């Protein structure tokens, strides 16, 4: 949800900023902009509607020199996506330029106040209000930029990560955050002098340094080329920066020969899940070790209820987690849309555990949901992918997915990473609560350990989806059906198709069809049915018959060797056999591939679908 990059040092800033914007483009791609101070002390701002390439194109004949700069890729919140509303924004005197990720909720009243005092505005954005406010503070309080930023931010309601340049002080870069992520990279240029990088996440920084500082909420930082890095909070109390070494490498941020990040990430799943379970599954003792549970054993033993808060795809994996935790650990689990939970005054007891599931660890609604749960005294557990992100820092304990950076906007490997992590969690709780017999526990651990190999098999045996998907480009609607553990897979399959191909799709519990949605079925309607030869197989067969007799086209996900559902289907995808609770990890793969190839056949930009952004750091 908007990406910010900044640089101050000895190198030319522009190429670093542009490369950084490309890496952050998954966060938003409505417009992009850059601001630089050149060696003559001139402060420039260049912006373009659309993707970063448009900005590159538009700046070819411009002076883009300078060793300090800030840049931004936007996902519009206030004001339509055009060059005027793109960041960076100038202050009225053009002495300041600023980039911002977040939302300033009281921007209208702040703007009205400043307009009364004769200030004029060029754009419709809340961000321009912020940069004007900083200048207003500098003028009215006759103070320096740093103090003015502190004063301005004290008047602001909302979320922000900002970086600011000041024309009259070209040797310093100021940034701040509250509610939106911001990381400072600490590096050294070739001649040994200090340089600093700023990023919404680590992806624009890792190429230059692995030494970073995660700025905390309400902290303001000032950096210069002498190596000065001062951080204070809004109350002007000096903070001690905590230097962290990033565990990430550049290859993880490249496409590695795949045409799209999404396809790369789909194929990465076997290895990603091997990494996820490494050290957590001990095959000698057939045991599960999750330090997040071991360290808080009593909390889980005494817990009366678990509430899982999440959004989108993470909500779907949470639903699978609910089924498994209830089955294995015998604790009631509720799954909540974080956006609903945070506003409906939910009943939360001190013996409840609230789990936040989030790939990015930055989703504003999920973060707000756990903040609410914390106020009500619940124990908080985070299941996130991005290390050092806001949710893991706000929770009492947790487990990282360790599936590597997910760049494609449509979540794939994070989904399966979440499902298997929730599986580990269910087993780890079952162990401390002794709710499973040793035999069943060991059998589940053994089966879980085989999942990455079975995923690889699934990928290898579904290569023809690329051809097959072509046939569905004309479709206007799809229905996805599943029962039990596969109902959330149906929801996830439908979401994947919607978000990248823009074809309308709905997921339903298969048995719900006859309560209304069956009216939609005719010969034009493809119905994707997840029908493994397990648990409710016979019932799903009956559901398929109901659809077939209304002339619906059946696309099924079947277990290897199944002939019955295969025979009833127009097309089938095959998966290896596994326990019911792990079927989602395999069944989702053909559905990911189906949506990918349908979207490709329709000419969609699968890595950057329209109107979407990877991490939704605003409401």
Dist. CA 608–CA 557, nearest whole Å:
27
| Residue 552 per-residue DSSP state | P
What is the dihedral sign for C-alpha 559, 560, 563, 568?
positive
Residue 122 annotated in active site? no
617 forms part of the interface with ligand F6R (CB under 6 A) = no
Q: Is 339 in the site for ligand F6R (CB under 6 A)?
A: no
| Span near ligand F6R by CB under 6 A; candidates 63-71, 183-191, 284-292, 306-314 | 306-314
Q: Which residue among 127, 232, 411, 421 contacts ligand F6R (CB under 6 A)?
A: 411
Our answer to whether residue 2 is catalytic in this structure is yes
d(CA 576, CA 583) in angstroms, rounded, equals 9
Shortest approach of ligand F6R to residue 314 CB, angstroms? 4
Tell me which residues in 364-383 interact with ligand F6R (CB under 6 A): 366
Find the DSSP H helices in 502-613: 537-548, 564-568, 583-601
Per CB under 6 A, does 2 bind ligand F6R?
A: no
Check residue 615 for interaction with ligand F6R (CB under 6 A).
yes
Judge whether 98 and 148 are in contact, CB under 8 Å: no
d(CA 3, CA 32): 9
Task: Single out the residue of 292, 312, 482, 584 in contact with ligand F6R (rule: CB under 6 A).
Answer: 312
Find the binder of ligand F6R among 313, 390, 397, 569 (CB under 6 A). 313
List the one residue from 1, 410, 555, 565 that touches ligand F6R (CB under 6 A).
410
Query: Which of the following is catalytic: 2, 276, 303, 581?
Result: 2
Between 462 and 615, CB nearer to ligand F6R: 615
Query: Which residue has 């479709």 as its token pair?
Result: 475
Dihedral angle over CA of 438, 440, 443, 445, nearest 10 = -70
Min dist CB 316 to ligand F6R, Å, is 8
Tell the smallest beta-carbon distance from residue 313 to ligand F6R (Å). Answer: 3
Indicate whether 317 belongs to the interface with ligand F6R (CB under 6 A).
no
Q: Is 608 in the site for ligand F6R (CB under 6 A)?
A: no
Give residue 270's Cα distance to chain centre: 20
Q: Which of 64, 232, 363, 397 binds ligand F6R (CB under 6 A)?
A: 363
Nearest one of 225, 215, 242, 244 to 153, comparing CA atoms:
215
Candidate segments 96-104, 134-142, 359-367, 457-465, binder of ligand F6R by CB under 6 A: 359-367
> Counting contacts by CB under 6 A, is residue 355 touching ligand F6R?
no
Q: Kindly state the smallest distance separating residue 244's Cβ from ligand F6R, in Å.
A: 20
Angle, CA of 353, 356 and 358, to the nearest 5°: 165
**Angstrom distance (rounded) from CA 530 to CA 486:** 7
| DSSP-based three-state secondary structure for 555 | strand
Q: Dihedral sign, CA of 508, 511, 515, 518?
A: positive
Identified binder of ligand F6R from the candidate list 232, 359, 399, 456, rule CB under 6 A: 359
- CA gap 549, 552 in Å, rounded: 8
Tokens of 307: 């509430």
Helix runs in 25-79, H state only: 52-58
Stretch that binds ligand F6R, among 205-213, 221-229, 355-363, 474-482 (CB under 6 A): 355-363
* CB closer to ligand F6R out of 46 and 315: 315
Asked if 295 and 399 count as a contact pair (C-beta separation under 8 A), the reply is no
Residue appearing with tokens 């992918």: 385
Q: How far apart are CA 12 and CA 152, in angstroms?
A: 30
Does 445 bind ligand F6R (CB under 6 A)? Our answer is no
> CB under 6 A: which stretch of 1-9, 276-284, 309-317, 453-461 binds ligand F6R?
309-317
Q: How many CB atoms lie within 10 A of CB 167?
A: 18
Q: Which of 322, 454, 496, 614 is catalytic?
A: 614
501 binds ligand F6R (CB under 6 A): no
The span from the CA of 45 to the CA of 69, in Å, is: 10
Nearer to ligand F6R, 131 or 357 (CB): 357
Q: Which is nearer to ligand F6R, 313 or 416 (CB)?
A: 313
Binding site for ligand F6R (CB under 6 A): 311-314, 358-360, 363, 366, 410-411, 495, 499, 615-616
Catalytic residues: 2, 614
């Amino acid at each position: 949800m908007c990406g910010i990059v900044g640089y101050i040092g000895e190198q030319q800033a522009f190429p670093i900023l542009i490369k950084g914007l490309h890496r952050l483009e998954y966060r938003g791609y409505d417009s992009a902009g850059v601001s630089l101070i050149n060696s003559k002390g001139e402060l420039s701002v260049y912006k373009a509607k659309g993707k970063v390439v448009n900005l590159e194109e538009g700046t070819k004949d411009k002076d883009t020199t300078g060793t300090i700069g800030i840049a931004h890729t936007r996902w519009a919140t206030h004001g339509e996506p055009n060059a005027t509303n793109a960041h960076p924004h100038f202050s009225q005197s053009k002495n300041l330029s600023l980039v911002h990720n977040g939302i300033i909720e009281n921007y209208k009243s702040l703007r009205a106040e400043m307009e009364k005092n004769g200030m004029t505005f060029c754009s419709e954005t809340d961000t321009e209000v912020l940069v004007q406010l900083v200048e207003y503070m500098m003028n009215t309080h006759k103070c320096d930029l740093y103090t003015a930023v502190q004063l301005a931010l004290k008047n602001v309601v909302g979320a922000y990560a900002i970086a600011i340049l000041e024309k009259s002080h070209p040797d310093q870069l100021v940034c701040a955050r509250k509610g939106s992520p911001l990381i400072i990279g600490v590096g050294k240029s070739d001649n040994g002098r200090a340089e600093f990088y700023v990023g919404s996440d680590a992806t624009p920084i890792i190429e230059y340094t692995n030494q970073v500082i995660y700025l905390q909420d309400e902290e303001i930082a000032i950096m210069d080329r002498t190596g000065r890095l001062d951080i204070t909070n809004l109350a002007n109390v000096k903070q001690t920066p905590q230097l962290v070494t990033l565990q990430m490498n550049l290859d993880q941020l490249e496409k590695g020969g795949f045409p799209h990040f999404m396809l790369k990430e789909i194929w990465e799943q076997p290895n990603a899940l091997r990494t996820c379970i490494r050290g957590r599954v001990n095959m000698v003792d057939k045991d599960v070790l999750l330090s997040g549970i071991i360290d808080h054993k009593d909390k889980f033993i005494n817990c009366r209820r678990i509430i899982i808060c999440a959004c989108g795809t993470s909500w779907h994996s949470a639903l699978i987690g609910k089924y498994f935790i209830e089955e294995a650990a015998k604790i009631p689990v509720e799954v909540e849309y974080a956006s609903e939970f945070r506003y409906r005054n939910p009943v939360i007891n001190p013996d409840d555990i609230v789990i936040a599931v989030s790939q990015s660890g930055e989703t504003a609604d999920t973060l707000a949901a756990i903040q609410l749960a914390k106020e009500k005294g619940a124990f908080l557990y985070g299941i996130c992918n991005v290390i050092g992100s806001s949710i893991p820092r706000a929770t009492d304990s947790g487990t990282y997915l360790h599936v590597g950076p997910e760049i494609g906007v449509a979540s794939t490997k994070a989904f399966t990473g979440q499902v298997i992590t929730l599986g580990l969690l269910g087993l780890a709780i079952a162990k401390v609560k002794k709710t499973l017999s040793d035999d069943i526990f060991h059998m589940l651990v053994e089966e879980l350990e085989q999942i990455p190999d079975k995923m690889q098999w699934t990928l290898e045996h579904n290569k023809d989806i690329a051809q097959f998907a072509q046939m569905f480009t004309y479709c206007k609607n799809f229905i996805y059906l599943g029962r039990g553990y596969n109902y959330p897979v149906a929801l996830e399959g439908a979401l994947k198709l919607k978000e990248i191909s823009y074809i309308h799709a709905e997921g339903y519990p298969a048995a719900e069809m006859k309560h209304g949605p069956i009216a939609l079925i005719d010969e034009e309607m493809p119905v994707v049915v997840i029908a493994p030869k397990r648990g409710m197989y016979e019932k799903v067969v009956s559901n398929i018959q109901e659809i077939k007799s209304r002339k619906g086209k059946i696309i099924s996900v079947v277990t290897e060797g199944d002939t019955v559902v295969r025979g009833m289907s127009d097309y089938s995808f095959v998966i290896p056999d596994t326990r019911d609770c792990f079927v989602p990890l395999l069944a989702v793969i053909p559905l990911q591939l189906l949506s990918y190839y349908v979207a490709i056949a329709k000419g969609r930009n699968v890595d950057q679908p329209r109107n979407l952004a990877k991490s939704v750091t605003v409401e």
